[in-house]
Amino acid sequence: MSNVKEDIEYLIKLVNKDLLIKEKRDILHRNPVKIKEIDEKILELEDKLNEKEESFKKIEKEERHLDSVIKSENDKIKKKKIEENNIKTNAAYRAWEHEMQYLAAKIETHEERMLGVLEMIDKENLELSRFSDEVKVKKDKLMLQKIELEKNIEKSRAELDIIEDEKLRILPHLSKKISREYQRILAAKHDAARANTYGDVCQGCFSRIPPQKAHEVRKNNEIITCEFCGRILVYFQENKKAESYE
């Protein structure tokens, strides 16, 4: 096998490693963003539940207040009834009777409001219970997604270390000339010094390669660079499902 073909073979291995490295780095970049979005959704659900609980507490507070007011007004009526036996004049009786009617009217108003509040409590209690169950289901589902994303981060970080180490062990196999060229292009591009071709398109800059040059690249028997981005071009069939870190 010629040195050129050996270089191209190792360059193809480097491309494969870079594809896996990009995949793992994308996961390490995306997953924390997704986790943050999940945390925000959980917080939003909790805030909505807290709002409903606070609203329900206000209705319960009003019910307790009305109950206290009605009891107080009834106590006043009881005391007034005791005063009836001590009334001496018609004027005093009319005044007493007017006050009794006033107290009875107040109680009736409070009792009507109480009926409305009790109906509201029954309705809101059912709604709160339903919404609380719904929030729990959604939170549990989101937490499972978060745990899976966190596991994926740990796994990808460990796999990335392995792949990057494997890439470092491939580099010394390149000839000195190609190694220098590789390092020069890598320093300029900061991501990858070589790129696969798909059809007649460079996968480094996605520029279209002249048909004749694309044909020569597919032979993998000479070093050819992209005239647009300068990356070394190689050709191989990508296997996106491959996960071996040889």
Portion of the chain with pLDDT greater than 70, in percent? 94
pLDDT at 133: 97
Beta-carbon contacts of residue 143 (< 8 Å; ≥ 6 apart)? 42
Q: What is the mean pLDDT of the chain?
A: 89
Number of folded domains that form the chain: 1
* Structural domain boundaries, residue 100: 28-159
Is 222 a domain residue?
no
Beta-carbon contacts of residue 233 (< 8 Å; ≥ 6 apart)? 194, 195, 196, 197, 202, 209, 213, 217, 224, 225, 226
pLDDT at 1: 42
Portion of the chain with pLDDT greater than 90, in percent? 56
Position 138 pLDDT exceeds 80: yes
Per-residue confidence band for 65, with pLDDT thresholds at 50, 70 and 90: very high
Is 69 a domain residue?
yes
> How do residues 187-243 score in pLDDT, each as one tens digit?
887 667 667 787 889 888 888 988 888 888 888 888 888 888 888 888 877 654 444
Is 42 a domain residue?
yes
Q: What is the DSSP code string of 142-162?
A: HHHHHHHHHHHHHHHHHHHHH
Is 118 a domain residue?
yes
Higher pLDDT, 5 or 45: 45
pLDDT at 200: 85
Is 211 a domain residue?
no
Per-residue confidence band for 115, with pLDDT thresholds at 50, 70 and 90: very high
Is 84 a domain residue?
yes
| pLDDT winner (highest mean) among 9-18, 148-157, 167-176, 231-240 | 148-157
Model confidence, pTM: 0.71
Is 184 a domain residue?
no
pLDDT at 160: 96
Higher pLDDT, 1 or 177: 177
Position 40 pLDDT exceeds 90: yes
Residue 95's CATH number: 1.10.287.1490
Is 170 a domain residue?
no
Sign of CA dihedral 38, 40, 43, 45: negative
